[in-house]
Structure 1
Amino acid sequence: MQNTMIPKLSLAVAAASVLPSVHAADGGFIDGASATLQARNYYFSRDFSDIVGANQQSKAEEWGQGFILNFKSGYTQGTVRLGVDAIGQLGLKLDSSRDRVGTGLLPVGDDGRAADDYSRFGAALKVRVSDTELKIGELQPNLPLLTFSDIRLLPPTYQGASIISNEVAGLTLHGGHLRSTSLRNEAGDGRMRAMLGRTPQAGFSDAFNYVGGDYAFNAERTSLSAWYAQLEDIYKQRFIGLKHSEPLGSWTLGANLGVYDSNEDGSKLAGAIDNQAFYSLLSAKRGGHTFYVGYQAMFGDHAFPRVFANVTPLGNEVPTYEFAEKDERSWQVRYDYDFAALGVPGLVATVRYITSDNVDTDRGFEGTAHERDLDVGYTVQSGLLKNVGIRIRNVAARSNYRSDIDENRVILSYTLALF
């Protein structure tokens, strides 16, 4: 698992570098091709400050180096046009120990130690007819019911088929069947399972199926969404969403609203599931300033269900706490600033605070939680270090029913366009 894929990733990089000169006669398939290689250096530290005892891990801290190769071909000529997308990923351990594993950066072996390296390579055939595209193979969907969770060293992928159609102006239709997943810290692929709130469930599903659509109108300032998904034999989920942006003088006002309804499916491998969720996130932007306020509420007999190891698509989803437990109500205030307004393009900052109550802990008391996040990021805009980025995140999360957490992340990245 640890070393066999490294030659494949090296070969893929080399092949991508020489592909244009070797196959230049192939027309659109090559003329429309692109390839990038991203280097990502990731330090992650999470201190579970209220955990004590010799047999309980009180800290997760690791450091890794990742490489992500993305290749996207153009299309062959004709009514039915063909192409190929490919992704190769390699993760290397820079620092870890048995008593600090579990950050999600690196796979952990049976001996309780992080692997020295892990890698994977996958490709997808794409078939385009008019403005409809079918993909079969390695996929990275980003959906209201399956959010793309690129939050660690390497992003996850899924194996299956998807179709996206844009035949009607403003209307985008989606459908898909995913049979397995490669998690963010795994080399292989495996069956999917669910989480309810923060709790992983035992049952494994053979497929995740989805269908949905987004319709944009009002000069694309307003969009409506309707989606349905099924994690076979575990849960099914429905979603309706509204997004709107409204210029008002020097301000731009925004709204992002959504409602989810979820219940168990088929063989009920995770037991009964009953959850209804509502979120709202309102924004006001002027110059480099953007202000947000949000409210989110869970209803029903259980916490919010999602595919394991993914962030939730909810409005109050944050780096550490999910705010999606049974009966939980949460409020968010957030402030973003883009320093381009002060003549420093590439520098951005976010500060966010979320507080919640009304959690049904099943332990005889009401659960409460709060989290404060600070993010600062900078991407070099020109010169020798152009496109080098750094992002720093500091989190303090506190609760009366789950572990308190102090968290720090430092992420260095550089994306090189190969062609």
Structure 2
Amino acid sequence: MQKPMISRLALTVAAASAFPAVQAAEGGFIEDSTATLQARNYYFSRDFSDIVGKSQQSKAEEWGQGFILNFKSGYTQGTVGMGIDAIGQLGLKLDSSRDSAGTGLLPVGDDGRAVDDYSRLGAALKVRLSNTELKIGELQPNLPVLTFSDIRLLPPTYQGASIVSNEIDGLTLQGGRLRSTSLRNEAGDDRMRAMLGRTPQTGLSDGFNYAGGDYAFNAKRTSLSAWYAQLEDIYNQRFIGLKHSEPLGNWTLGANLGFYDSQEDGSKLAGSIDNQAFYSLLSAKRGGHTFYVGYQAIYGDNAFPRVFANVTPLGNEVPTYEFAEKDERSWQARYDYDFAALGAPGLVATVRYITSDNVDTDNGFEGNARERDLDLGYTVQSGPLKNVGVRIRNVAARSNYRSDIDENRLILSYTLTLF
């Protein structure tokens, strides 16, 4: 069982503040520092109405309380500025049982029960020269080839080094190496592995390497992206993307297009991999209304590969089904409404429907799937409950080759600015 580490976090933050004490008196290490504490109460329920696969657990249902403390220092003065970022996380079990564990909110012990609590503390040294920043330590990247997946009680983190450069106006270049990860329901470090579609792979990689860039032009309304990623000895991947936003009278039209090409890497710990994936997501916004339509296609001999436990970066990524299986074709229709247009700021709603076919199930028949999502969120805008957020999600997912799912989530959150 993992023990709370709030006292250790306090010591680390204190040490981080003391580290550049001389420079802080002259510059912005202290003056530009920020710290926030987020409390997150998370209920998750997933019913499997038509179980397919080895596990015959018919329901996953848990309730947890999480705390996320983020500290970000400013930089010391001089040509080369230095600083420290730190993150502390604590997860507490409020309700769970052996026959309903496994939601991804809480770690599961050897006895099949969720642990009472788990926690983690991490920090990163950051160095800035001009408009280029190097970070070494605990990282939370959000990349086209490694999507930041804050979808449970606590967010995942990675351990490694990253560099981000903005020396040329409109051009952002990034690169890095991640040697390990702490998953959304883990306290310790672990080597990374892959998923092919919905199937986890067993091979463990020594690191994830990436490099890429995004170039924004046309008054920042258009951007082009090109990326390369390598999960060592498992897969390597290339990505090209285009985003565009075009005002047209009272409307704003948008397009998000991307293409991935992946193959096996090195020792082929997940076997041979051949995958290409294309997605398109078009939007039209007017006032509080935003309409989306999307199409996604998976090609090659395998499902789409990604780092284990992360959501896919594809356009039809949704909470429950991935729509990234071998040969799968999927279509999306989505509608968002921001009630600020009706004088109710902070209230937003989303309804989304995705359907797919042409899945190669390797069982002699064509697979298909569909999912309907309803999301409703509200953040209190003023008064004593300002910044308190409530989010409700209801999902119905059906398929002829995998388990049907009915899912409900209720998330209460509050972020307190400490300084």
Asked whether the two chains share a fold, i.e. TM above 0.5, the reply is yes
**2:218: which partner in 1?**
218
**How much does 1:27 deviate?**
2.6
Alpha-carbon spacing, 1:67–1:15, altered in 2? closer, same or farther (3 Å):
farther
Would the aligned equivalents of 2:194 and 2:308 in 1 still touch at CA under 8 Å? yes
- 1:250 paired with 2:240, answer no
Aligned to 1:406: 406
Alignment of 1:176-255 (within 5 A): 176-255=176-255
- In the alignment, which residue of structure 1 is the partner of 2:40? 40
* Residues 22/35 of structure 1: CA separation in 2 closer, same or farther (3 Å cut): farther
For 1:184 and 1:22, the matched residues in 2 are separated by 37
- Runs of 4+ in structure 1 deviating by more than 3 angstroms, as ranges, are 9-19, 21-24, 52-55
**Structure 1: distance between partners of 2:333 and 2:348:** 17
2:275 corresponds in structure 1 to: 275
SS at match of 2:30: helix
Q: Would you say the 8 A contact 1:16–1:418 is kept in 2?
A: no
Distance 1:190 1:390 in 2: 32
Give a deviation string over 1:105-141, Cα, whole Å, max 9, x none: 0000001010000000000000000000000000000
Residues of 2 paired with 1:18 and 1:41: CA distance? 33
- Residue 261 of structure 1 is matched in structure 2 by 261
Q: Which amino acid aligns with 2:73?
A: S
Change in Cα spacing, 1:213 to 1:341, as seen in structure 2 (3 Å) is same
Following superposition of structure 1 onto structure 2, how do residues 10-409 of structure 1 map, counting pairs within 5 Å? Answer: 11=11, 25=25, 27-51=27-51, 56-409=56-409
Work out the number of aligned pairs and report it: 419
1:171 offset after TM fit, Å?
0.2
Please give the secondary structure, in 1, of the residue aligned with 2:51. coil
Q: Give the counterpart letter for 1:217 in structure 2.
A: F
CA displacement, residues 24-78 of structure 1 (integer Å, 9 cap, x when unaligned): 7353101111000000000000000113999721000000000000000000000
Report the 3-state secondary structure (helix = DSSP H, G, I; strand = E; otherwise coil) of the residue aligned with 1:25.
helix
| TM superposition shift of 1:4 | 5.3
- Describe the shift of the 1:409–1:29 C-alpha distance in structure 2 as closer, same or farther (beyond 3 A): same
Structure 1 unmatched runs, 5+: none
Cα deviations by residue, 1:6-37 (Å, 9 ceiling, x for unpaired) = 43246568889999x99973531011110000
- Contact conserved, 1:23 with 1:30, CA < 8 A, in 2? no
Which string of whole-angstrom CA distances, capped at 9 and with x for unpartnered residues, describes residues 251-303 of structure 1? Answer: 00000000000000000001000000000000000000000000000000000
Identity %: 87
Q: CA deviation at 1:5?
A: 2.6
Q: What is the distance in 1 between the residues matched to 2:199 and 2:55?
A: 21
SS of match in other structure, 1:48 = strand
Q: Distance in 1 between matches of 2:22 and 2:343?
A: 44
1:122 and 1:136 map into 2 onto residues whose CA distance is: 11
Contact 1:295 1:332 in 2 (8 A): yes
CA distance in 1, matches of 2:91, 2:10: 13
1:14 and 1:384, CA in 2 relative to 1: closer, same or farther beyond 3 A?
Answer: farther
User: Contact 1:316/1:332 (CA < 8 Å) preserved in 2?
Assistant: yes
In 1, Cα distance between equivalents of 2:144 and 2:51: 35
Q: CA deviation at 1:3?
A: 1.2
Verify the 8 A CA contact 2:16 2:84 in the aligned structure 1. no
